[in-house]
Structure 1
């Protein structure tokens, strides 16, 4: 039976596999070393060094995430709120073009079509691929916290909710934490209350967070996803924007031809812009938009003049624009040298330095994505590479476990005491109820005893249950006040016999009903007469 390896075991295994690019680079390096008279670097040594670099870097990033995912990396414009169509267009950027390094992938759960860069899929997985919604919540439908629409490409927020990537990009206060995987969505707490109160003029709903027209004198509000729901065109070409604010205009202030909007079912459809609320409108400059006669809704992108605005457009560039390739710290370099100290290699320090530089360039070419698939497949749940625990660490962990066990034992004892207390309270309440009922209804115990004695005289059980209307249809036409032993027992439980005389009257009513309905020659009539003779002395004692 296969057993999933532990993190400690995986840390000792070499998980990195060379690809063709690695082989070409290493062959070139070995050719240079051969000219210098040095031995060649084997493929195994290269994989060992690359694997160690990747794991050490992942461990460093996991322990210090704030250094690598700052707030400046969270605002990335992206398109994400449409169901895939027959042309296999990306549900985020609405573009059907793709490259070998940025292909369109389809979710095997909901058939969502997205670009690798747009949705944050550095690798095309072998076998099936599921979007984040189908992975986390395949059966339960999810809703976007920023709009009323339930279709499209979803990502989870830092608070455990769901949101469209398109909404997270266009709402000024929101963005994504990790620009490689494009998740999670954050910044919801920064959205002002005034934005939550805006009414979308397309769907007429005050749900989620709307954006507004960028014109200084226009305050038209709308959801980003509502435009696509009404069949409007929302296109964002990959690599179109180098960064900056996205601006949207309503039909009164955009450059879209009015004639192309005549067939639309909405009278005022917006040309998109990511703007702020009323206090930000004075900062918005005149927007420029590429002409498009076929689209009812188009994008206007402004390139910032000083380092970019709130929303950068890195996710749509053909290459990943970062501050530079990752640099291996000296501490990691020393740990790698110590790790391969037993390997026989000429100019070992230069070889490791060269591989580290190659690793940095390869990481940058992959938009910062990990080179090990294990780390990539579970980016949010994978723990850092396990380190060897010292005896002191083990002692501290053992002490914490013992404290936890003691606390759990105290909780168990407390619950047992609570159970015993509640049991005694219930017994006391039942006893108190019995005493009070005995004081208020002193004859009820005697009535129960008499009823039991009379029922024992009715051995055939003629009068045990009410007469069925289906079996005897005319019984209730003749007998206006039917009575039986089961009904009398229920009346005693409901305290409906204030005196013993009322109880005796019902006993006689049972017998008299039988004598009245049945003929004297029937067994039931004779049994009723006999029962009355036997019951009178018992009722007299009551």
Structure 2
């Protein structure tokens, strides 16, 4: 039967083991002793109480004098410093580095340069007549003041334009405008006339303001939505559709990218209010649906302009801009392997045009028979038929994105398309691709064979007469949608300039009006950014009131934030002041001698204005300069007040003996310092003696004129 024994503590076991090993070590040292058998294991003897207390008692702390006799804690210890060659090694390294740099410079080509004339020319002064149009004179300083709403002159950009609005220049010239104006001034120079840059900006601003009024007064185009839908359906039945427009009444319009009409809350279908195309949010990169009307990228930038896709002949569909300013379809970008979106979230701009091989540009579409853009080929490996992406969509070919649009953006292997001969049987069962090809061919035909029976044959004279008659008709806009100003606007401008005593030739105003029209046609929008007229009157009065209430809340929050910021600033200033006072108190308490030295120096430099005394230098090397005295005080090099007094006395005697009586430092010492010298130095030295004796109470009560030797704490 096993007997359980109590196991001794680790300390006791360690003591017992040390006690048992002692005789063994002695036996091992003796060479003559015969080998002995190891003793049989036996249970350890019980530990006495005194032995346990001796082992478990912790060590008591003792004074260092018990170990180091004769060591005084107040006596400084001698420090032995071994001389090192760090400075010599650094100097040797610096010289070596300098030689290496010199060798490198000898191998380099010496730079050659020539001094260029100063090309900086001051801007010509603004004419005084231009100040009334919002320009500031060169020497006038704009002062903050209150502007009345009618005098502000920014009604055009804030949608608050009124008939009595004063003209303020809001147009900014670009390089093209500067080149055109330089060309005009070259012709005017023959007659001794000149048109300034400011006047040109005023004229362009006036044209924009007048057209804003005209645009509001023009009658809107009457649209019969039912009739437009019927025309779109007939057009789709006759020519097909590559953007989903023209669906049957019983069907929902499909997305112009994925050709599907299913949607949910996270991926809704949005309709463009300009071209009526429908796109999913994920298919077109619409991060959020805005309130009010939504315009696609093409209608937003180049409305009423027929821009063809760079990769196909179609002018309809969902467009995005390329990195070079052109336009391309989203579906063309998805199906052409070399193209990609720079920003996959917003799906713009289209990049990778340079990666498309030349062989792809040379392919001819077998549907429309046009060698335009870049074609794709059938996904069947043995088929090399080429066709445009939009032609395939219009012909109702099989085009599938296996894992959705977002996957197709990053992996082009998930998109497939088949020609009419290799499309799946299930697809051919519901779609007639042969008829779709005929519709596409009819859509891209030249038109000479269509409606030829309805044409009327006329002579060249009758054609010229019709053209002349048509040219006399006034048009509000050009073919590309750019506005045309009527003559009454130019006459009003001429009258306004004459009222401001800025007469100009009206013929050049006609030229500026034509240039303004061409500029609007090139940019495709207003030259001064302002609210879109299509968005006017969309919000109801209730929605406007809600927005105004929200703005009031935001205004209140901003006012509270400004108040909190001002309070935080005051708090920070008070904390800084408190910290400085605390540092001063700590310096007075722990370094009272240095405080006395600094106060004495501050008293000496009390009336030094513009650092005139500190910047004074002395020719005698035995007399320290004032700047050197300040550095020594800042670096705590003075140990006693008497050391500073000796330096100030040397400066005093040297200045009185060698300096001009009219100098600043001479007058300072004679008129100011010598009056307070004895009293100030005596008080400082008295406080110093009190500190050296360890009498802080005496030091606390010592005060002198200009000095406050108060010890706090």
Q: State if a TM-score over 0.5 links the two structures.
A: no
Higher RCO (C-alpha 8 Å, min separation 6): 1
Query: Computing the radius of gyration over CA atoms, which structure comes out larger, 1 or 2?
Result: 2
Relative to total residues, which structure has the larger helix share, 1 or 2?
Answer: 2
- Normalising by structure 1, we get a TM-score of 0.33
